[in-house]
Amino acid sequence: MKNKIIVVLGLATFVFIGMAASKPGSRSGERNLKVLPKDISNADLDSVMEIYSKHLNVSCDFCHATSKINPNDLDYASDDKPEKEITRQMMKMTAAINKDFFDYTIIYKAGERMAVSCFTCHDGFPRPEMKHEKKQ
């Protein structure tokens, strides 16, 4: 009986650690969000990040630094890469254009509609001017 309890407790601890580890961001579960809503769901966060990657045609590591603990992982909460901070400015700018000129309020939900997105300018390039460089 006692052994059983220990096994169950052990399993519960294992599951709990697994859940904590799979949570994005820092170990405490607190995310480093300065523009996105603090209570954004994992699904909405994933959707926003996938859209940025698609609209600029880059991988997650374009904005996210390599983890100092495991070089095979990205440290999503880290602000070490300047592209991440530039993106925060771009997010604010894009939200402002939508609100001030088109009356769309960006709320960072999966599948949300907006007048001007990253793609409007970037068109699948990390820097918009690269579209023209390619044509020349």
- Near ligand HEC by CB under 6 A: residue from 57, 62, 67, 99: 62
What letter represents residue 125's amino acid? F
Gap between the Cα atoms of 129 and 48, Å rounded: 23
Site size with ligand HEC, rule: CB under 6 A: 37
CB distance 77 to 31 below 8 Å? yes
Binding piece for ligand HEC, criterion CB under 6 A, among 1-9, 14-22, 45-53, 65-73: 45-53
Q: How far separated are the first and last CA of the chain, in Å rounded?
A: 76
User: Does residue 43 touch ligand HEC according to CB under 6 A?
Assistant: no
- Near ligand HEC by CB under 6 A: residue from 6, 80, 107, 127: 127
Burial class (CB in 10 A: 0-12, 13-18, 19+), 18: exposed
Residues that bind ligand HEC (CB under 6 A): 24-25, 31-36, 45, 49-50, 52-53, 56, 58, 60, 62-64, 76-77, 83-84, 86-88, 90-91, 94, 116, 118, 120-122, 126-128
